[in-house]
Chain A
């Protein structure tokens, strides 16, 4: 039990320190690396409380995909950073009020959620679903999401789909003059389309129309 507590404190310490480092560190790429460290230690915490499915999904989705794209963008940004005034220290202070507002709102939301859970313990009992403790949490998550909450699940899927299509529409641009390769065209070309045999008269030459 003591070993469990020690490991818990190590992971949560790493999580908190790296979360602070995300905001403190000057280099944006380092920030993203600290964010990744944060995600990993949080997924370790998930695994420690027995939510191994959530921990692994956290690793796969956040670390394996989201953070890679983050890193991708930030690295590209870093190249342009020297030229861009937006990142200079004079412009930076103007973002503080907005960030402050957002963080205050999140802080109060967290207080409401955690306070409700702490001071009204019977809140948990109001959840209608009975959780079968014999099943692994992958199975029980699956049965709860796909049977009891299927409509909400489908709805959130639709929201994600709309977001995805929106992102594609926003970034899509049609460029003219791009030659695209078509496999079918290439494969269906035969000798007749590509080669023409011409009898050339002496000293006359051939007129080729392109």
Chain B
């Protein structure tokens, strides 16, 4: 009986996390289009609901009622599996994100490794979709995306090592608590910039949206998808973007901590701060989408392997030497 109660309590907690995430994904799509429009002096979606807030819901309804077309020559199992994999991976990563000191679904020891692992699995949805479509544009998109995501993962991994050197723990709550006095964005500012750019590449956002570059590849790996399956790719992509923003704010912007521990700031509940930081990073994502032109593929690879990787490796050495010299290494 008690086990059953615990089971249902867990289910309730998971739903309490996932439903807000899904709703905020819908809102974030609206925000993305809105910011994009304002930069270009347009209005953006402003008709459905107040300020056009329900635009994404209307779009989702439209997708649900559209027919799902499965190409005759595709590998049907993998074709159907691909959007499910994308969506699932984008959602399961939220299990370890700490919203406050107590509000976290799974406070595991290797939280940051879990996040890193799940985000590195995200490439499978894209490869599976591109390959199973059995057509040229999706295949090219999938190959591009595989190479791109694997390359940028390497530099994200090295950046995480930088942060871990300062924390001394892989637990996400410990990472946040280690920033109580000083957010890591200040001592590790170059790493924050590189993390941000790598996150853009990891989530296939402009200026690195080469897997779906519409001028060359129609829609890349999504070309053959329609209806709800396309919408799932789309939702998964935005959930991944939110996740990367959350990761950035936990690693560098102090997670749920308030910027200053003074009266008007420290009464605001902790999750609000995390959400504000995620929103801040997301608006930067949206602005960059609007103002930066797309990279060429060889430039993208060059940036990842020849600039970001050596630079972040050198920064690891610098951070380690600094901590060693001033005897600031955690755990001593």
Which residues of A approach B to under 8 Å, CB–CB? 29, 33, 36, 52-53, 56-57, 59-60, 63-65, 68-69, 71-72, 75-76, 136, 138-139, 181
Contacts and interface: CB of A to CB of B under 8 A. Distances in A.
Contact of A53 (B113, B131, B143): B113
A72 B146 contact: yes
| Closest CB pairs A-B (n = 6) | A64-B120, A56-B113, A59-B117, A60-B117, A52-B110, A56-B110
Contact of B113 (A29, A36, A60, A65): A60
A56 B157 CA distance: 13
A75 B143 contact: yes
Interface string B121-142: 1011001100100000001001
B284 interface: no
A20 B189 CA distance: 49
B150 A69 contact: yes
B121 A59 contact: yes
B78 interface: yes
A72 B121 contact: no
Nearest to A54: B110
Interface in B235-270: none
Given A59-B121, A68-B123, A69-B150, 10 more contacts: A29-B131, A56-B113, A57-B113, A60-B116, A64-B123, A64-B150, A68-B124, A71-B127, A75-B131, A181-B299
A65 B124 CA distance: 11
B120 A60 contact: yes
A66 to B, nearest CB: 10
Contacts of B153: 64-65
Nearest to B154: A65
Interface of B: 75, 78, 108-110, 113-114, 116-117, 120-121, 123-124, 127-128, 131, 139, 142-143, 146-147, 149-150, 153, 157, 170, 298-299, 331
A36 B275 CA distance: 34
Contact of B114 (A33, A36, A56, A75): A56
Given A60-B120, A64-B117, A75-B131, A138 B170 contact: yes
A162 B124 CA distance: 30
21 contacts: A29-B75, A33-B78, A52-B109, A56-B116, A59-B121, A60-B120, A64-B117, A64-B121, A64-B153, A65-B153, A68-B124, A68-B150, A71-B146, A72-B147, A75-B131, A75-B139, A75-B142, A76-B143, A138-B110, A138-B170, A181-B299
A178 B131 CA distance: 31
A36 B170 contact: no
Nearest to A69: B150
Contacts of B299: 181
B109 A138 contact: yes
A35 to B, nearest CB: 12
Contacts of A63: 117, 120-121
B46 to A, nearest CB: 41
Nearest to A65: B150
B117 A56 contact: yes
Nearest to B298: A181
